[in-house]
Amino acid sequence: MIQTVLDIVAIRKDFPILNRKVNGKPLVYLDNAATSQTPQQVIDAIVDYYSNYNANIHRGVHTLSQEATDAYEQARIKVQKHFNAEKAHEIILTAGTTHGINIVANGFAAILQPGDEIMVSALEHHSNIVPWQMLCERTGAILKVIPMNLEGELVMAEFHKLLSDRTKLVFCNHVSNALGTVNPIEEIIDSAHKKGAAVLIDGAQAAPHIKADVQQLDVDFYVVSGHKMCGPTGVGMLYGKEAWLQKLPPYQGGGEMIAEVTFEKTTYADLPHKFEAGTPNICGGIAFGAALDYMNAIGFPAIAAYEDELLQYATEKLLAIEGLKIYGTAKEKTAVVSFNIEGIHPYDIGSILDKLGVAVRTGHHCAQPIMEFFKIPGTVRASFSFYNTKEEVDVLVAAVEKARAMLL
């Protein structure tokens, strides 16, 4: 049976950090789009690893090394099952989304020819823009941009016009971290494939809310970060279709990623190790698996439904504040509210909110082109998770009202 109503009181008990005070006020943590908080179950997995079986993996015959290897490979299978990849070796455990994108961008340097086109959306995080610009510089490929409208939605008619036989790769986020827009990735993947282009989806912001099925999506690459879905920092996933991962050259050279090394020639290890040079974040990988267990036990449909409620509630309450404008009003959104108050710099609002215990992000959210589009220096961004409450939304709204009164 799918759980549809969350026991928020019980859930909040799992997150020790939610008990702390900031500037003498109870913490109201609304910066989940930057990083999520960590439940005790994941903290326990980290402590267990370092307390009981910390060892390097894949090369030791001793017991600790075997236990660590088993746990790490078990985590890979948890990630595989979660995203429904066909094969475990299609899951590359990375340092995070940025790392995963760079592995693919580096690989395409061996594939692209001058004059080939690659396409990015206007809604991207810098980590899904800059590696591709670097790739264009290396290869002579041309970067095209799918434009957005004032609601913060991609203009799909323009996407279809830009797509051509020269397009080799399209990359787009599943959910925008700056505005919360859920992009029509099914349509993007389908249309790109019809033109023979590969597609990379940046799922960093989607993964905490939406359980993506990479086989159903038929996506070529999907990347996420563990730290945005209750896991630790410094770990993430690059999913790639086996054929693509076979085709792309390795990104980094080192231990673990080789089959045989001589000074004349080195042959590379099989997948996934070809892309996992050096000692990986073993503990991080295991804890990432624990985070997926934790979130799946609560259930993604219930998480999404509850966060949607928080989004509706926060949107309504915030819009009632005079002079407040929300950026990103797409029909399909996750629980991110990016806003400004006329005449006030977002940073000033953020500072006052912090004094009141409310953690939000201010600035360009690693998405300067979006800010440029709206002609603003940045926004205040409140982003909600399943452990937030309506009472916390009320605290946010009262704090924003207070900031407005102080600053205007």
Ligand X SMILES: *Cc1c(COP(=O)(O)O)cnc(C)c1O
Q: What is the DSSP letter of 148?
A: B
Q: What is the DSSP letter of 127?
A: G
Closest distance of CB 270 from ligand X, Å: 26
Residue ranges in contact with ligand X by CB under 6 A: 96-98, 125, 127-128, 173, 177, 202, 204-205, 225, 228
Contacting residues for 302 by C-beta, under 8 A, at least 6 apart: 2, 3, 4, 5, 6, 386
Q: Are strands 117-121 and 142-146 parallel, antiparallel or unpaired?
A: parallel
- CA dist 383 and 178 (Å) reads 10
- CA dist 202 and 219 (Å) reads 11
- b/e sequence 394-407, b meaning 16+ C-beta within 10 Å: ebbbebbbebbeee
Enclosing H/E stretch for 26: strand 25-26
- CA dist 156 and 160 (Å) reads 6
Q: Which is nearer to ligand X, 37 or 173 (CB)?
A: 173
Q: Which is nearer to ligand X, 102 or 388 (CB)?
A: 102
CB 116 within 8 A of CB 142: yes
- CA dist 324 and 151 (Å) reads 16
Enclosing H/E stretch for 224: strand 221-225
CB 159 within 8 A of CB 185: no
Closest distance of CB 109 from ligand X, Å: 20
User: Structure tokens of 124?
Assistant: 């991207």
Closest distance of CB 237 from ligand X, Å: 11
- CA dist 372 and 392 (Å) reads 31
Q: Which is nearer to ligand X, 381 or 404 (CB)?
A: 381
Residues identified as active-site? 366
Residue 235, classified by CB atoms within 10 Å of its CB into exposed (0-12), middle (13-18) or buried (19+), is: buried
Q: Which is nearer to ligand X, 175 or 282 (CB)?
A: 175
Closest distance of CB 123 from ligand X, Å: 9
Q: Which is nearer to ligand X, 174 or 241 (CB)?
A: 174
Closest distance of CB 99 from ligand X, Å: 7
Closest distance of CB 391 from ligand X, Å: 26
User: Structure tokens of 329?
Assistant: 């009003």
Q: Which is nearer to ligand X, 258 or 304 (CB)?
A: 304
Q: Which is nearer to ligand X, 152 or 357 (CB)?
A: 152
Helices 97-108 and 130-139, interaxial angle, to 10°?
A: 10
Closest distance of CB 138 from ligand X, Å: 21
Q: Are strands 266-268 and 324-327 parallel, antiparallel or unpaired?
A: unpaired
168: helix, strand or coil = strand
Closest distance of CB 224 from ligand X, Å: 9
- CA dist 85 and 211 (Å) reads 12
CB 37 within 8 A of CB 231: no
